[in-house]
Amino acid sequence: MEITTKSMPYSAWKDNEYIEKLVDQLNESGANIVVGTLDKLINWGRSNSLWPLTFATSCCGIEFVSLGAARFDMARFGWEVARSSPRQADFMMVAGTIVHRMVPVFRRLYDQLAEPKYVIACGSCAISGGPFRNSYHVAKGIEDIVPVDVFIPGCPPRPEAMIYGIMQLSRKVKVEKFFGGVNRQEKQEEFLKNHPVEGVKD
């Protein structure tokens, strides 16, 4: 299996085994030539136009904002259309601390994202609570609230790390099944059922 971009060779990517495992699972289930070709075409378009939800709660948000500036220019990847409405966004870049009072609002925003939807946990606060881990008011990682697709470590992570994380999400989207790929939705529904949030109806 060969996944390449013009700027980065296959060997430069981390976690290649995960993507290869995903490809093997998809190949096992099989797809006819028409559906498989349409999958490739649609996923190529989706992976090159991932629109983030404007959602930042602390210092990681400043680093994410810098991706839109001339130095890092996320427009060259097709990600520049940061939406204010979850119904128009493809993924949620959780850039910052999530306090317990924010959890129901955060979960509601996730529920309002259009399918297929993705989440990137950006920075140590979103991944584990960060420097506030032992405090009473901060959620100790968002993976207990919503299913997370990509983790970007750092406090805060640099814009280059964020670009790399979104590129990893793009790789994941490229190898998914668009037609008949209900497995992902079933897993999401099961996750959300097993992780109820007070104040949010399922």
pLDDT for 36-58, tens place per residue?
Answer: 677 778 778 788 888 888 888 88
Query: Closest by alpha carbon to 44, among 165, 185, 166, 173?
Result: 173
CATH number at residue 140: 3.40.50.12280
Q: CA 181, CA 189: separation in Å to the nearest integer?
A: 14
- How distant is the alpha carbon of residue 127 from its chain centre? 13
Cβ atoms of residues 168 and 150 within 8 Å:
yes
- Torsion 118-123-124-125 (CA) sign: negative
Domain assignment of residue 142, given as a range: 52-168+184-194
**53 neighbors 86 (Cβ within 8 angstroms):** yes
| Distant-in-sequence, close-in-space partners of 111: CB < 8 Å, separation ≥ 6 | 192, 200
Confirm whether 175 is domain-assigned. no
Q: What percent of the chain has pLDDT over 90?
A: 3
Question: What local confidence, expressed as pLDDT, does residue 78 receive?
Answer: 80
Distance CA 165, CA 13 (A): 11
Q: Tens digit of pLDDT for each residue in 10-22?
A: 666 666 776 777 6
Confidence (pTM):
0.76
Does 41 reside within a domain? no
Domain assignment present for residue 99? The answer is yes
Judge whether 164 lies within some domain: yes
In a domain, 44, yes or no: no
Q: Quick check: is 96 in a domain?
A: yes
12 in a structural domain: no
Number of domains in the chain: 1
Residue 153 CA to residue 18 CA, distance in Å, equals 18
The residue that leads in pLDDT, 9 or 174, is 174
pLDDT for position 41: 81
pLDDT of 10: 67
Confidence band for 33, pLDDT divided at 50, 70 and 90: low
Report if residue 59 sits inside a domain: yes
Residues paired with 94 in a beta bridge:
121
d(CA 17, CA 189): 26
